[in-house]
Amino acid sequence: MNYLDKNQLPTLADRLNHAMAERGMKQEQLAVAAGCTQASIQKISSGKSLKSRFLAAIARALQVDVDWLELGTLPKTQHNGHPVAKPRPKDGTPYVLGELSPWDDDTPLEDDEVALPLYKEVEISSGMGRSSVQIDEGRKVRFSSYTLRKAGIDPSNAACATNTGNSNHPLILDKATLGIDKGMRSIIDGQVYALEHDGLLRIKFLYRIPGGIRLRSFNRDEYADEDYTFEQVMDQHIQIIGRVFWWSTLNPTNISLIR
């Protein structure tokens, strides 16, 4: 993402349209990813709306800094002791926003960190190769309390998981860390949820449809929608773990972002 300052992009509409162009996202795609309507995106992009309660979700979907999107404040990092704006990787790979680091009981938490459990697929010893989504008792992840407060998440309901595969590429990349709100299991159309599907951990957009639910991937060119009746939901053991409220963006090529 090529961040430009307020002299170059003075309005919220300017920054939104710039970020959409950089990510190659259309209004409809962004609306689905952010869990809002296309009309909401259109109002912001046209300058008719100067504020929106969806800005944080829009920023996550575009993989940009929310303060930059809303206020035009350039995100900062450190290089040789001096604050500089984050440069865009030469190969166009997304920014590293920070993978949540595994830790153990001997690792002290920072003042503004909490310890969250990590979900993973665990093979059932007597299940003939079957698996189940369970908390990994041997690992936890460190998470910013500020991020939880900003998202309105109760730490006791928060957990993490690791995304696998490219079904939601390029919005959520393979190996990205996900923040999950276990307190939100009711379906809000177009929101991203972590699911257990017959022992598999899946990350999907959910929609209510007559008599059942729809699972949708962001990468719809390769992954078709999946519709399930309520009977199939029961038979295939589809359970909502919680709504995904945050995810990291990793650099899969391990190219340094500071040039």
Q: Where are the domains of the chain?
A: 12-85, 102-247
pLDDT in tens, 223-234: 999 999 999 999
The letter for the amino acid at 143 is F
Residue 124 structure tokens? 């059932």
Give the percent of the chain with pLDDT over 90. 41
Residue 169 and residue 172: Cα distance in Å, rounded? 5
pLDDT of amino acid 124: 61
| pLDDT at position 129 | 58
pLDDT at site 57: 85
pLDDT the model gives residue 10:
93
Scan for tokens 């869990």, then name that residue. 35
Per-residue pLDDT tens digits for 152-208: 888 889 999 988 899 998 889 888 889 999 999 999 999 999 999 999 999 999 999
Structure tokens at 28: 């409809």
- Does the structure show a pLDDT above 80 at 252? no
The predicted structure's pLDDT at residue 79: 40
What is the CB neighbour count within 10 angstroms for residue 217?
22
Alpha-helical segments (H) within the chain = 12-23, 27-34, 38-45, 55-62, 66-71, 145-151, 230-235
pLDDT score, position 35:
79
Give 109's pLDDT tier (boundaries 50, 70, 90): low
CA angle 162, 165, 168 (to 5 degrees): 90
The pLDDT value recorded for residue 235 is 96
Q: How confident is the model at residue 128 (pLDDT cuts 50, 70, 90)?
A: low
Q: How confident is the model at residue 7 (pLDDT cuts 50, 70, 90)?
A: confident
Q: What is the pLDDT of residue 76?
A: 65
Does the pLDDT of residue 106 top 70, yes or no?
A: no
Arithmetic mean of pLDDT over the chain: 80
* pLDDT of 255 above 50: no
Selecting from 1.10.260.40, 3.40.50.1820, 1.10.10.10, 3.30.1380.10, what CATH number does the domain 12-85 have?
A: 1.10.260.40
Task: Please say if the pLDDT value at position 99 is more than 70.
Answer: no
Sort residue 61 into left (φ over 0), alpha (ψ -120 to 50) or beta: alpha
Sequence-separated (6 or more) residues with CB below 8 Å from residue 137: none
What gap in Å lies between CA 215 and CA 76, rounded to an integer? 37
Closest CA to 205 of 197, 196, 193: 193
Q: Nearest-CA neighbor of 178 among 120, 254, 122?
A: 120
Does the structure show a pLDDT above 80 at 90? no
The residues, ordered by sequence, that sit 6+ positions from 80 with a Cβ below 8 Å of its Cβ are none
pLDDT over 80 (residue 91): no
Structure tokens, 239:
């359970």
Q: What are the DSSP calls for 163-202, one per residue?
A: --SSTTTTTS-TT-EEEEETT--S--TTEEEEEEETTEEE
Tokens 């993989």 identify what position?
63
What integer pLDDT is reported at residue 108 of this predicted model?
61
pLDDT of residue 77: 52
Cα distance between residue 4 and residue 17, in whole Å: 12
Which residue shows structure tokens 């300058």? 47
Q: Is the pTM of this model over 0.75?
A: no
Domains 12-85 and 102-247 share a fold: no
* pLDDT for res 82: 38
Q: Which residues contact 19 (CB under 8 A, 6 or more apart)?
A: 1, 62, 64, 69
User: Quick check: 210 and 159 in contact, CB under 8 A?
Assistant: no
Q: Among the CATH numbers 3.30.420.40, 2.40.128.120, 2.10.109.10, 3.30.450.20, which is that of 102-247? A: 2.10.109.10
Question: Which residue would you say has higher pLDDT here, 254 or 57?
Answer: 57
